Amino acid sequence: MECVYSAKFIDQKRAKRLTHVVCDLVSEHQAETIKRDTFLADRVKTENTALYEIVSKINAAMSRTRGKKTHTPEKIKFKYLNYTIQNGVKRTERRRGEWYIVSPYKLLISDGYYYLIGFDDKMKKMVHYRIDRMKDVELIGEPREGADAFKELNLEAYLQEHFSMYGGKSEHVTFRAMNHILEAFIDRFGTKGAVYSSDGDKYFVATVKVSVSKQLYGWLCGLGNQAKILSPEWVVDDFKTHLEKMLFLYNTPSSKDDS
């Protein structure tokens, strides 16, 4: 049940229903423990109750068979949603409601969310999308494109670069950090493709390939003075600018006109 409640792509109603299903399979004492422990947990859950229908359509688009007939995988189209704060928190359509045309290749789960990796018609490259942010998904009958791009895609490296630290320019970044936060680095970057080495009795150096982004900087800020970027120089300078902007924000009187 912890897995069910930590899965953000399972909406609250279905999570509760699954809880009742599990409770019917265990003793009354265990059932009460499950209900108490899971229902008290305040977790972010998807508000898109059409997610399961969307997944079904994506699978149908990727499938090579329908019934007993051979089928050519095809493209899908959908609207993609984003949050805005105007007149309260609302979801609006990105690109002013323009259709996204994507050749779907892979469904996966990361950090409790369901994602689609596909070849985007407009950008002409492999891109990932949060499924709970999709709307009005339809199969359009056009043959799927991007087979070569997907074949060349190192899925493990793609997940490490883009799902660990979100979007941004991919770069090999070297950090120097204190030994006791080594696990934090391994949890974030893994060991495959990363190079770790000792640097004296108290420090280690790690070189990893990441997407350089504000999310990376936010994670690094959480480590405080326990970790430092060593190279490349442009990432060091960019992080310094990021910190300076944060400091300026706190050193400047607040104003409604702040940008």
> Is the dihedral angle over the CA atoms 133, 137, 139, 140 positive or is it negative?
negative
Q: Tell me which of 117-121, 143-147, 248-252 is least confident.
A: 248-252
Identify the bridge partners of residue 106 per DSSP, sorted by sequence position.
Answer: 117
Spatial neighbors of 89 by CB under 8 A, at least 6 apart, are 83
Structure tokens at 1: 């049940």
pLDDT, one tens digit per residue, over 86-99 is 665 577 898 889 99
- CB-neighbour burial class of residue 187 (10 A; exposed 0-12, middle 13-18, buried 19+): exposed
Q: Which domains does the chain have, with CATH numbers?
A: 2-39 (no CATH), 51-153 (no CATH), 161-251 (3.30.70)
Residue 164 pLDDT exceeds 80: no
**Within 13 Å, how many C-alpha atoms sit on residue 40's CB side?**
6
pLDDT at 34: 67
pLDDT at 41: 45
Q: Which residue has the tokens 């069910």?
A: 4
Structure tokens at 110: 């990361």
- Give 123's pLDDT tier (boundaries 50, 70, 90): very high
**pTM passes above 0.75:** no
Phi, psi of 170 (to 5 degrees): -75, 135
- CB-neighbour burial class of residue 175 (10 A; exposed 0-12, middle 13-18, buried 19+): buried
What CA–CA distance (Å, rounded) separates 114 from 51?
9
Residue 137 pLDDT exceeds 80: yes
pLDDT, one tens digit per residue, over 151-160 is 998 877 777 6
Percent share of the chain, pLDDT over 90? 40
Dihedral of the alpha carbons of 207, 107, 45, 36, in degrees to the nearest 10: -90
pLDDT at 42: 47
Q: Which residue has the tokens 């690094």?
A: 220
